[in-house]
Amino acid sequence: MTRRITVKSPAALNKSSLRMCQFLMPLQLPIIILFILILLGSTSGALAQARITPRVLDPEAELSAILLGTGVPIPNPSRATACTAILVGERVFLVDTGRNCIVPLDQAGIRDINGVFYTHYHSDHFIGLGEILLNFAIAGVDHSIPVRGPVGAQEVVDGIVATYRLDLEYRLAHHGDKFSAAVMKPTVTEHSPGVIFDEQGLKVTMFNVCHQPIEPAVGYRFEYAGKTVVVSGDTNVCPEFAEGARGADLLISEVENAAMFNAATALARSANNSRQVAMIEEGVAYHAESLALARMAQEVGVKKLALTHLFPSIAPTDQAEAQFIRGMSDLYTGPIIVGRDGMEVAP
């Protein structure tokens, strides 16, 4: 398997900020656009062009990760939704397969995977699976992909396989066995929390997290060659999450900046838009608030923190990211990496 890793430089525009308008509609659009641009301090980068700088994977890193999707359901052209590649020697596993994940996956040079681990079944965490499988089938990957997750994995995968039934029929009729039917039918295993995988030195432990009312919702600990990488899934900061992350060399965590929503909530409230107020408050309620996350990471001895599933879905600019993590370094003394799609992170 050839790995060519690409890292996106501070990319294009801040369309993400405009995207929030959809979230906030039907408030007055010009006011909201102005508010968001000010909030993210990002008008100067609005017309910048995306650049991609290829680089080579660090051969010394035995356990590392690539943040393939760092976004949330609010559309953002710079961020696919939840998808993280865990690189274990020559093996590649995905945690979740979100929207548009195939693009950064392909750009990262990943041509095959050894399995998928699902954290929960909000669609932004699984909807890209069909696109990944189709791309592999066209490329001739001729084996069924093992898919593991808590209860619900079978139903989700069956649904995607059913959705692709006609497509598979057409492609087999047209291409014959050059098109891989095997890869279009993943092999699913549903698990309860605990050690769910232990092969060739890699141990994977599933643990419960707190994303109520969504159950099951889990995170994963990957342990290999003396290092531990933890992926949070979607969760509040809570004791279960803290235990799962304890002592991790690298914690890849979802995060929200709740304060960034204050002004939007106030605007919605002043416009008497109680539906939008409730939607914002409910969205904020079941994610990991940035300062609480920093405090938790310090308390449980996390050595490095990488942020993904950024809510709100900020532009990938230094300025927006600095504002997003404001105050975290006062509470957590380790390195904090604000994820961008395609970024490699290692313990």
* Contacting positions for Zn ion (CB under 5 A): 122, 124, 234
In one-letter notation, the amino acid at residue 256 is E
Q: Please say whether the beta carbons of 304 and 316 come within 8 A.
A: no
DSSP state, 167?
Answer: H
CA distance 115 to 222: 13
Q: Which is nearer to Zn ion, 180 or 253 (CB)?
A: 253
Least Å from the CB of residue 252 to Zn ion: 13
The token pair that represents 15 in the structure block: 């369309």
Task: Name beta bridge partners: 80.
Answer: none
Q: Which is nearer to Zn ion, 64 or 119 (CB)?
A: 119
Of residues 1, 20, 5, 7, the one with CA closest to residue 315: 20
Least Å from the CB of residue 258 to Zn ion: 16
The token pair that represents 27 in the structure block: 């408030």
Terminal-to-terminal C-alpha distance of the chain? 22
Q: Which is nearer to Zn ion, 45 or 219 (CB)?
A: 219
In one-letter notation, the amino acid at residue 281 is E
| Residues near 240 by beta carbon (within 8 Å), at least 6 away in sequence | 207, 208, 209, 210
Q: Which is nearer to Zn ion, 90 or 282 (CB)?
A: 282
Q: Which is nearer to Zn ion, 124 or 289 (CB)?
A: 124
Residue-level length of the chain: 347
The token pair that represents 16 in the structure block: 């993400």
Least Å from the CB of residue 233 to Zn ion: 8
Sign of CA dihedral 80, 218, 344, 334: positive
Q: Which is nearer to Zn ion, 122 or 191 (CB)?
A: 122
Q: Which is nearer to Zn ion, 98 or 342 (CB)?
A: 98
Residue 181, SS3? Answer: coil
Residue 91, SS3? Answer: strand
What residue has token string 């209860």?
151
Least Å from the CB of residue 250 to Zn ion: 20
By DSSP bridging, strand 250-256 and strand 227-231 are parallel
Least Å from the CB of residue 121 to Zn ion: 8
Of residues 225, 174, 236, the one with CA closest to residue 203: 225
Q: Which is nearer to Zn ion, 122 or 148 (CB)?
A: 122
CA distance 117 to 205: 11
Least Å from the CB of residue 95 to Zn ion: 12
Q: Which is nearer to Zn ion, 22 or 212 (CB)?
A: 212
Task: Name beta bridge partners: 287.
Answer: none
Q: Which helix (H) or strand (E) holds 262?
A: helix 262-270
